[in-house]
């Protein structure tokens, strides 16, 4: 059982491609066939698998969330840290903080168009802890 | 491979903090480093990781779902068990019935603000089966 | 660690019950107690656990997504492959491409009403690769 923690600085709301960092961790684990579990230790950032070729996909995804889980909704009671606080929690729950990938031939067996992205939901950049476990 | 089933009584729609029950199962497993998989054997309750300090977060989350996946929507065909039947299925699919957590130092390595919650989506209290597997 | 790839032809947008195929893979693995991880190697199809008895549930689920993540939304920039292209990515992210199930007594320990469905989000039928890993 291999486990390590990555520390990733985000640049505010949006997606960050962490596919390479995950593949490198899997390579260090020496596992040929198994599972790679990725976990973000926060409640206002999440992990998604997303189309990795056209940046417009992540743009449109962000637009959808901005519309469906709006910042500063007057119905939110929880707004201690600002108008993006509560939406960040809802977005994280809808997109998840855990992700499990199959490992084949020593690598995460992603489809050709699949990338692993850390999705920051706060407007300000944050330092995020991501735990990678390979079994 | 450690596995056990927890039986949890819910008190109707809302979230129930099961973090302690999960941590206790992991302790019983004797696993130091690995993965903890949690699974609810139903289609109208789910498992979420959520901010664990301010109850307003779960209140606002519930408000969001009540608005976006409304009870008694006349467009639902499936309403055998009442107006909360179909929304409970949709909410469960959006928030998931499975959750996998990293285990480090004999405990689920949750972030400081992360709690594990069983999310009941039916209005009436139910007895829910939750399977915990630790590897 | 057991791993195999299933190739599944979808018939366009909608859900396909793959519970039997998953249970058969678990049986071939010979695992009595453990975890079964299912993964779709695409970004416009996903995996859900859903009520397996009344087809109206999947009908109402599809109606919900058709309304909340509409095809041909003029706000989408990414529409290379047609009006169902971007919605398929958003739907897949909301419902997930990975699913982990507990294995007990040599079978996925599903609840009585839980089925595993491959959810095709494109209008045209596609050939989808699903990787099953049992540990």
* CB neighbourhood size of B20 (10 A): 10
User: Strands A14-17 and A107-108, how do they pair?
Assistant: unpaired
- A-B CB pairs within 8 A amount to 80
Q: Please report all neighbours of C, defined by 3+ CB atom pairs within 8 A.
A: A, B
Whole-angstrom distance, CA of residue A85 vs CA of residue C85:
30
* Nearest partner of A18 among A47, A51, A60, A61, judged by Cα: A47
The pLDDT of residue C25 is 98
Whole-angstrom distance, CA of residue B9 vs CA of residue B15:
12
Chain C environment of A114 (Cβ under 8 Å):
41-43, 97
Selecting from A59, A100, A110 the residue whose C-beta is nearest the C-beta of C100 gives A100
On the CB side of C121, CA atoms within 13 Å amount to 31
* Residue pLDDT, tens place only, A85-128: 999 999 999 999 999 999 999 999 999 999 999 999 999 999 99
Predicted ipTM of the assembly: 0.97
Q: Tell me the mean pLDDT in the region B31-37.
A: 98
Helix (H, G, I), strand (E, B) or coil at C40: strand
The pLDDT of residue A95 is 98
Residue linked to tokens 């549930």? C57
CB under 8 Å to C4, separation ≥6 — which residues? C25, C28, C131, C132
Of A10-14, A27-31, B80-84, the least confident: B80-84
Which phi and psi angles does C48 have, rounded to 5°?
-130, 155
Q: Tell me the mean pLDDT in the region C108-119.
A: 98
The pLDDT of residue C100 is 99
* Residue pLDDT, tens place only, C34-43: 999 999 999 9
The pLDDT of residue C119 is 98
| Cβ C9 vs Cβ C117: under 8 Å | no
B1 Cβ under 8 Å from any chain C Cβ: yes
| Cβ C119 vs Cβ C44: under 8 Å | no
Surface-to-core class of residue C90, CB atoms within 10 Å of its CB (0-12 exposed, 13-18 middle, 19+ buried): buried
pLDDT above 90 covers a percentage of chain B that reads: 99
| Cβ C62 vs Cβ C14: under 8 Å | yes
Q: Under an 8 A CB cutoff, do A57 and C100 touch?
A: no
Q: Under an 8 A CB cutoff, do A93 and B33 touch?
A: no
pLDDT above 90 covers a percentage of chain A that reads: 99
What is the torsion angle, in degrees rounded to the nearest 10, for the CA atoms of residue C64, residue C66, residue C68 and residue C73?
-170
The pLDDT of residue B89 is 98
DSSP A10-30: --SSEEEE-HHHHHHHHHHHT
The pLDDT of residue C48 is 98
Q: Under an 8 A CB cutoff, do C94 and B90 touch?
A: no
Tokens of C73: 């939304």
Q: Edge-to-edge strand order for the sheet containing C107-108?
A: C2-9, C127-134, C34-40, C98-104, C107-108
Window 20-49 of B, Cβ < 8 Å to C: 35, 37, 39-43
pLDDT band at B37 (very low <50, low <70, confident <90, very high): very high
* CB neighbourhood size of A78 (10 A): 18
Tokens of A75: 């119905």
Smallest CA–CA distance, residue C80 to chain B, in Å, is: 27
Window 76-135 of C, Cβ < 8 Å to B: 94-96, 99-104, 109-111, 113-114, 135
Cα angle C113, B14, B57 (rounded to 5 degrees) comes to: 130
Counting every residue, how long is chain B?
135
Surface-to-core class of residue B134, CB atoms within 10 Å of its CB (0-12 exposed, 13-18 middle, 19+ buried): buried
Q: Tell me the mean pLDDT in the region B39-60.
A: 98
The pLDDT of residue A33 is 98
Distances (CA, A) of A4 to A131, B102, B111: 6, 10, 15
Residue linked to tokens 């919650």? B117
| Cβ A43 vs Cβ B111: under 8 Å | yes
| Cβ C2 vs Cβ C133: under 8 Å | yes
Q: Please report all neighbours of B, defined by 3+ CB atom pairs within 8 A.
A: A, C
pLDDT band at B11 (very low <50, low <70, confident <90, very high): very high
* CB neighbourhood size of C79 (10 A): 17
Whole-angstrom distance, CA of residue C61 vs CA of residue C118:
13
Residue in chain C lying closest to B70 (CA) = C64
CB under 8 Å to C27, separation ≥6 — which residues? C106, C107
Chain A environment of C77 (Cβ under 8 Å):
56, 59-60
* Residue pLDDT, tens place only, C11-63: 999 999 999 999 999 999 999 999 999 999 999 999 999 999 999 999 999 99
Residue linked to tokens 């066939």? A33
C68 Cβ under 8 Å from any chain A Cβ: yes
| Cβ B37 vs Cβ B96: under 8 Å | no
Q: What mean pLDDT is reported for chain A? A: 98
* Nearest partner of B123 among B67, B45, B52, judged by Cα: B45
């Amino acid at each position: 059982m291999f486990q390590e923690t990555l520390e990733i600085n985000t640049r505010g709301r949006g997606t960050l491609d962490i596919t390479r960092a995950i593949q490198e961790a899997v390579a260090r684990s020496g596992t040929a066939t198994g599972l790679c579990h990725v976990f973000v230790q926060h409640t206002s950032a999440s992990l998604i698998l997303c189309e990795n070729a056209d940046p417009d996909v992540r743009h449109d995804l962000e637009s959808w969330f901005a519309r469906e889980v709006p910042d500063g909704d007057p119905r939110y009671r929880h707004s201690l840290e600002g108008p993006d606080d509560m939406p960040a929690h809802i977005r994280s729950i809808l997109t998840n903080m855990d992700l499990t990938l199959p490992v084949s031939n020593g690598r995460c067996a992603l489809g050709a168009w699949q990338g692993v992205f850390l999705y920051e939901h706060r407007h300000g950049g944050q330092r995020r802890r991501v735990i990678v476990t390979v079994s």
